[in-house]
A and B are shown apart, each in its own frame.
Chain A
Amino acid sequence: MKQARWWLLLAAATLAVPTEAFAQNKKAPAAPAGKPAPAAGAPAAGAAAGGVVDLDAPGPATGAPAGTNGAAAGGAIDLDGPQPNNGAGAGTGGTDTGTGSICDIDPNAPACGKSTDPAKSPALRVLKPDVYAVQQIYALRKNRLELNPYWGFSLNDQFVSHPGPGLAVNYYITNVLAVGVNGNYYGSFNSDSEFNFQNRRATRLAVPLTEYLAGGNLNFTYVPVYGKFSGFSNFIFHFDTYVVGGIGAIWTKPIAVIDPDNRKFEQKMKLDFNAGLGLRVFFNRWFAVNLEIRDYIYNEQLEATTISKSSSDPKYASAPERDPSTWYGQNSLTNNVQAQIGVSLFLPPSWEYRLPK
């Protein structure tokens, strides 16, 4: 118990040790005032025994031996200094033991006396300073859950618009592939357009209309495109583009146009397939906005454009127009193309990279 203070002091000293290793030795103190600076060509103070690597220091006078230019054991290496003249071999400084020489780094360096093709020297190769790769993906998706609430609106139905909210939930199996579900609700948002009215009045034609109730789909998402933009050369944001496709069901019914007095349609479930393309812009690592164009393809049973004069069901013999089996007309492969604008929330919101860069 009496020694507790010493243990505390030792623990404090241990923690006070720098937590990062240093690749370079401590810089030698500047020469005291009054002392002359080392002569050109002489090893710099401290360079001979673990001195400083000073890449910006001025080089010695022309003709100085390479070994005195900091190439001595543990000495300073001045990469910017002028190269020695021919004949001034490496290690002529007398203190060169061979270790730490520039020749260890680049055996083909001119200073090493090897007669190699200068054009093949790595130091003389023309570098391509441009960087192409996305070095570290900003927003990883693998093993993350994406919650995507959105608002959808139909693009290609000029007669009835089908806006409504939706929700997609996707789980990313890999960084580029996800499996998920989404659901759309149209309910009371269907609305007949002015265009439908004008077209019907002018042409004396009634176009069969359809309203949607809801839809649900199982989807696969693939992310082939990933990138980043600088905005106004001031900030950087990341985005990706994805394709999505799946299978599901949609509940629809015709809007009675031809004989609204007698026809009352019920919602029916239909099989649908969907395919889409989306753009997602990340605001941070877990929040993004996205815009998606999705085509829900299904087989619609349209309202019959004529009113039946007969019914096979005796129950409707006196009023065949009330026989529900006569209300439906042709089937039509329907493309419900809709734009979906929403936000994406990725969970968990953070992660650790496997590699620092």
Chain B
Amino acid sequence: MKRWFKALSAGLLALAAVASAPKSAQAQEIQLTGPLAGAPAVRKLRLYREGRFEIAPTVSFTLLDEYRRTIFAGARLNYNLTEWAAIGVYGAYGAASLATDLTTQVDAKSPRYLGPGSPSDPKADPPAGSTAIRNPNVAKSFDEQTARLQWIAAPQLTLVPFRGKLALFEKAFVDTDAYIHLGVAAVGVKDRKDCGAAGQSKCSADYETASRVAVAPTFGLGLTFYPSDLVSFGFEYRALPFSWNRAGFDTRGSGTDGKFPDGKINSDDRTFKFNQMVSIFVGFSLGDRKTSE
């Protein structure tokens, strides 16, 4: 009887200890079971995109430029098929093309004539009878020889995997989404015209540039902030990798591996550049904003 009672007491004690263990997880741990199991991560989400048309004027700045930086004025048009997917187009015109410090330095210091008899002033012409030869890589005005981005037109798909909110200074709160975009861009490029081949002018006499269209993939990511149902603002990063002759140099075409100058300017002299730009925009959304369940 005594042993039975002791065993019963011990069992009850163990049962009580188990029962007194905390019954709930700590704050904000994700509930994998219970009434919230299977519930959506967010309820009553303000749907700023779904079924709405958006027009967003943009200002874009190229990044990490070697010879010229470009400021684009443009716009992005999007129709949001769902809250997380949109189709649209981005278009921009190169409103300003500014020479970098490197361009200015090359323009000021690079010798236009090479060899014996070349003048000490890098921009001066050699005296008559000099055997100096004209440098085919640097025009009298190097600034005008460098390539420019003129315009961009990019049909694109926008995906919005992340949606949330942020607190600024722990006072102001704003709905935010993070998106990625990808598409194909047609880029208007003005780089050095072909020269040096049969039927073309000599490269040491012709430093003109010519326009062409380059096709490139475009992709990037951005953040949109929604202070109201109608107006949003944000910034985005865009990559536009393609090959172009940014300085107008003859750098390739001869030698066993083609990595030596061949006296001609052509597509061989275009080098790959991971062109990058950042845009800021103000968006206007048309149509009624919905709310999720």
Contacts and interface: CB of A to CB of B under 8 A. Distances in A.
A130 interface: yes
Interface in A106-160: 129-134, 136, 138, 155-156, 158
A227 interface: yes
A229 B162 contact: yes
A205 B13 contact: no
Interface in B12-68: 12-13, 15-17, 19-20, 23, 27-28, 40-42, 44-46, 64, 66
Task: Give the one of B102, B161, B166, B169 with max A CB within 10 A.
Answer: B166
A198 B19 contact: no
Contacts of A207: 102
B137 interface: yes
A3 interface: no
Task: Give the one of A129, A132, A199, A353 with max B CB within 10 A.
Answer: A199
B15 A16 contact: yes
A225 interface: yes
B164 A5 contact: no
Contact of A231 (B2, B17, B28, B161): B161
A202 B165 contact: no
B18 to A, nearest CB: 10
How big is chain B's contact interface, by range?
35 or more
B165 A5 contact: no
Contacts, number: 130
Interface in A197-249: 198-199, 201-205, 207, 224-236, 239, 241
A198 B28 contact: no
A134 B15 contact: no
B176 interface: yes
A23 interface: no
Given A155-B64, A203-B106, A233 B13 contact: no
Task: Give the one of A204, A207, A232, A239 with max B CB within 10 A.
Answer: A204
Given A8-B6, A199-B247, A204-B111, A233 B40 contact: yes
A231 B162 contact: yes
B154 interface: no
Contact of A5 (B5, B166, B271): B5
Contacts of A333: none
Contact of B41 (A11, A12, A227, A234): A234
A237 to B, nearest CB: 8
Contacts of A158: 64, 66, 102
Nearest to A226: B167
Contacts of A356: 27
Given A129-B44, A130-B46, A155-B64, A229 B163 contact: yes
Interface string B66-90: 1000000000000000001000000
The SS class assigned to the B binding surface is mixed
Contacts of B166: 225-228, 239, 241
Contacts of A8: 6, 9-10, 13
B92 interface: no
Task: Give the one of B40, B105, B106, B261 with max A CB within 10 A.
Answer: B106
A130 B27 contact: no
A31 interface: no
A283 interface: no
Interface string B189-204: 0000000000000000
Contact of B16 (A5, A15, A226, A230): A15
A205 B109 contact: yes
9 A-B pairs with least C-beta separation? A227-B166, A15-B16, A229-B164, A12-B12, A8-B9, A202-B249, A202-B137, A229-B162, A203-B110
Given A15-B20, A236-B41, 18 more contacts: A5-B5, A8-B10, A8-B13, A133-B173, A134-B167, A198-B271, A201-B261, A203-B106, A203-B137, A203-B138, A205-B109, A228-B166, A229-B177, A230-B45, A233-B40, A233-B41, A236-B164, A356-B27
6 contacts: A9-B9, A12-B9, A136-B27, A203-B138, A207-B102, A241-B166
